[in-house]
Structure 1
Amino acid sequence: MASPGHVRSCPSTACRSSKEDYTDIARHAAFDGHPVVAYDAPGCGDTVCGDPTAVSIPFLVDTAVSVLDRLGIGRFHLVGHSMGGLTALMLAASHPDRVLSFVDIEGNVAPEDCFLSRQIVSHPAADGETFLEGFIERNRRSPTYAAPLFASSPPHKVRADAIRGIFESMVELSDHGDLMATFLGLPFPRMFMYGDQNASLSYLPRLAAAGVELAEIPQCGHFPMYSNPPAMWARIADFQGKVQAPWW
């Protein structure tokens, strides 16, 4: 396990979840004695953002670096879900010397991962409020685990004006950013976690062949922290516990 100076950093996922989605970590003894940082992205949760329309994935990466530096965090285990997973991937790629391990919970690594964010293109709306209303309703009717539960949260966790910039940058990076090569090129242990309802993702064999540990969480879709948090945290703890972190 990491020394007390090594932190588990959990970038929150804007428009998907918030820092509160990580609070169950406190219920798992495997993480006792190890500090955890979880935060809301700008434009989401409890944040105050002067211009939500300026928020994008690169903006969120800069925010993550600022959070880590402000708290004096040198090296850390990195966990990110969905959009937070993409933010974490870009953070890990730009600061590989600071990352001990990376758990990517269905973060974007290929164009097919834009099943939520691509709705900004496939379901255009005149304004953020109109798009958000439709986005919520589509998730409420989804047959996947926890999607209706998730649908209840965006009105309280995201500013409508922040959605377009975030989603458009997600789609742009997923389609043209060569995220798979970036993920496979990371020089530290990586886990890719996904719900069993998404076991058909086409790239999973490629990840496994490249040495990425796969963690399929049963009775889950895109939101293991809602559908099966005990299994999610147990897999993360086991993975991080195997990482031999340097003590400095």
Structure 2
Amino acid sequence: MTQQSKYLNTSNRVVVLFSGNGSNLQALLNQQVDYSYNIVGAISNRPDAYGLERLKNTDIPALVLDHKEFDSRESYDIELIRQIDNFNPGLVVLAGYMRILTVRATRHFQYRLINIHPSLLPYYKGLNTHRRILADRQKHHGTTVHFVTEALDSGAIILQASLTIELEDDEHSLRKRVQAMEHQIYPMAVDMLTSNRLQVSNQQLFLDTIPLGNRGYQIQEQYLINK
């Protein structure tokens, strides 16, 4: 690495953004005792998000910032940035957050904002990945943790978990298998950042000073421990 390299995080403080059920939020909550991160706040853009129920038995502040109360995406993200910054986080984690962030937000949190996507990026960006994978008769599928940039599902890849599609798999079973992997690798990826294991140099990611390829750190389904 060059002298221009830097660690991507200096704080274990995490804010989680979510819009719905919050199953990845729950996984992050359950496993934070095993890792170095500390969830200090959570924000939902939907007042009916079930993830808010998951937070009721915790001491984590939960904020509802309803996007319907704002007249533009830009004005919403200005307030969202302000509310996130109030928590002084080192990392912002999207966990089923169903809004596309503005350039203002992605640049403000550059290399401090991550997402998990249900495909092996750069393939199958966007929605309905399980259905599209099956329709194309692909043999492999998976999930990707990546940095968020202004280009949708295109930021540097931190970690991927992959599986082999079985003959009996349908959209429901594939979603279930992928989500099971997500619930394990997302806390793992968050910890990579909050424990200062990730560095960047000339847009190249390093894990424990070892360069990661374009597909990030690779894990296969059979090597994940079911929890």
TM value normalised by structure 1: 0.41
1 or 2, which has the higher helix percentage? 1
TM value normalised by structure 2: 0.44
1 or 2, which has the higher strand percentage? 2
